[in-house]
């Protein structure tokens, strides 16, 4: 390493002069976890040991919030055009301190990049064979980009863009592999902002890992869930697949204590419905489809069992998406199938329109319990190749029984039982299911009026 590369005094340049037209607001002022995007970038630079931050803004832009750090400066460019990054970088080049030996071009669009990425880029730039260091996520380059002052000076030539500088000579560029997707993801549109906010509150698991971690929680802390967070979760959930694009679902978020009590009473008196900060009623909703038919001079075929199935499946897909989204942000959930015990009265309590019923409920909140995972049916009883294979069903049931008994033993030993009562350790899955759904089934008895009440709610169901 040459002597000149031993330190490399670095200045971070933050282009933040764009109009944010597609975002609909000033990107530098975006709220990301209670901190503005620009404040987050300044803090990240400080954490990476970059004390000098030069922010480029339009001269007609809104004032920035107070930013920590003595080395933060704002330089203004004339408000013209759409605020191209190259123009901002040329202005920043003119304002560079004389002792700056390297720059870190850190666009405000990438505010969720962490300090470890900046440190890795600076370390790579110290190599004699590197004049430009850029992050690589899944073999795709992103931002920020670190470069020596001599290379950055090329931006001062007319018409030269940042891309031109990076692509001019591949021999001087070195890539730094990172696991941070935000080096690639721009904060460009409202959906990007929603994703960023979700990432800031999310758990450190992949989607598949989160699925394996699922458990039903039946005890909750009183911590409230902010309205914007519920809106974000439902907003994400409604992007589930939908049959024929009918989007036949609705969600009623119940916070009111008295109404939650009513919901709990109609759902078998389950205590956690009252305890959870919010009870979500996941509805199959054909009312909007009925109105669409009326507007266009026809009548909804509410007697169609196929349409009923489509609406119910739509609601189930949204509900599962919603559960996964909530768990990804650290909440516990529990599906409430007992919402179908009294569908007519529950619909009346929730003010549901005709052609709408609650398929199931869901409690959501910060869990106060830590239930033992139940596991699931052996995969061989679920996954079949090319044709259904029932030849090993006896073995599947035996393993399911073993799994249920193992769960009962562990639950009794670690938690003194389930829902305050000891669990029978001798009963397997098959015996429990036979009792639940064989002759004299209490579940079936509780739903005897279901079809009649669904008809009263506008579902003909021939």
Write down the pLDDT at residue 83.
Answer: 57
**What pTM did the predictor assign?**
0.72
Enumerate residues 6+ apart whose C-beta is below 8 A from 204.
none
Chain-centre distance for alpha carbon 282? 19
Cα–Cα dist 202/331, whole Å: 10
The total of other beta-carbon atoms located within 10 Å of residue 81's CB is 12
Give percent above pLDDT 70 in the chain: 97
* Structure-token match 């033993």, residue found: 409
| Nearest CA among 432, 213, 458, 181 for reference residue 331 | 213
Model pLDDT for residues 98-107, shown as the tens digit of each residue:
889 999 999 9
Write down the pLDDT at residue 2.
Answer: 41
Domains in the chain, start-ordered, CATH in brackets?
3-190 (3.90.550.10), 205-369 (3.40.109.10), 372-462 (no CATH)
Cα–Cα dist 47/243, whole Å: 48
- Residues in the chain where the model's pLDDT stays below 70: 1-7, 79-83
Residues 146 and 176 sit within 8 Å (Cβ to Cβ): no
Write down the pLDDT at residue 170.
Answer: 92
CA angle 267, 269, 275 (to 5 degrees): 100
Cα–Cα dist 283/395, whole Å: 38
Cα–Cα dist 76/432, whole Å: 71
Write down the pLDDT at residue 120.
Answer: 93
Chain-centre distance for alpha carbon 243? 23
Write down the pLDDT at residue 3.
Answer: 40
């Amino acid at each position: 390493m040459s002597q000149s590369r031993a330190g490399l005094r670095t200045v971070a340049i933050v282009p933040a002069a764009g109009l944010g037209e597609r975002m609909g607001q000033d990107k530098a002022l975006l709220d990301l976890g209670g901190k503005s995007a620009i404040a987050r970038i300044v803090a990240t630079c400080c954490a990476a040991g970059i004390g000098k931050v030069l922010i480029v803004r339009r001269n007609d832009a809104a004032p920035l919030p107070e930013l920590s750090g003595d080395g933060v400066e704002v330089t203004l460019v004339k408000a013209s055009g759409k605020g191209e990054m190259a123009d901002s970088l040329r202005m920043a080049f003119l304002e560079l301190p004389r002792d700056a030996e390297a720059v870190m071009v850190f666009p405000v669009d990438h505010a969720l990049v962490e300090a470890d990425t900046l440190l890795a880029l600076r370390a790579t730039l110290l190599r004699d064979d590197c004049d430009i260091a850029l992050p690589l996520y899944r073999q795709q380059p992103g931002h920020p980009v670190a470069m020596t002052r001599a290379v950055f000076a090329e931006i001062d030539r007319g018409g030269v863009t940042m891309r031109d500088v990076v692509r001019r000579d591949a021999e001087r560029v070195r890539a730094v592999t990172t696991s941070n997707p935000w080096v690639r993801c721009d904060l460009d549109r409202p959906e990007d902002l929603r994703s960023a906010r979700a990432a800031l509150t999310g758990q450190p698991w992949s989607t598949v890992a989160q699925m394996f971690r699922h458990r039903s929680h039946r005890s909750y802390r009183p911590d409230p869930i902010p309205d914007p967070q519920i809106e974000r979760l439902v907003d994400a959930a409604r992007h589930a697949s939908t049959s024929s694009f009918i989007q036949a679902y609705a969600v009623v978020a119940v916070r009111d204590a008295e109404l939650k009590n009513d919901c709990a009473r109609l759902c078998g008196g389950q205590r956690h419905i009252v305890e959870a900060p919010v009870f979500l009623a996941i509805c199959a909703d054909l009312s909007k489809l009925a109105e669409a038919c009326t507007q266009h001079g026809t009548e909804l075929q509410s007697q169609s069992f196929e349409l009923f199935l489509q609406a119910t499946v739509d609601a189930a897909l949204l509900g599962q998406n919603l559960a996964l989204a909530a768990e990804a942000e650290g909440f516990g959930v529990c599906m409430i199938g007992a919402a179908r015990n009294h569908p007519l009265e529950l619909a009346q309590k929730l003010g549901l329109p005709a052609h709408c019923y609650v398929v199931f409920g869901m409690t959501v909140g910060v869990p106060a319990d830590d239930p033992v995972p139940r596991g699931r049916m052996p995969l061989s009883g679920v996954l079949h190749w090319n044709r259904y294979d029932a030849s090993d069903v006896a073995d599947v049931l035996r393993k399911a029984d073993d799994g249920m008994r193992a769960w009962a033993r562990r639950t009794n030993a670690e938690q003194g039982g389930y829902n305050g009562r000891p669990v029978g350790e001798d009963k397997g899955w098959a015996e429990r299911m036979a009792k639940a759904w064989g002759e004299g089934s209490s579940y079936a008895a509780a739903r005897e009026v279901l079809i009649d009440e669904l008809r009263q709610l506008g579902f003909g169901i021939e």
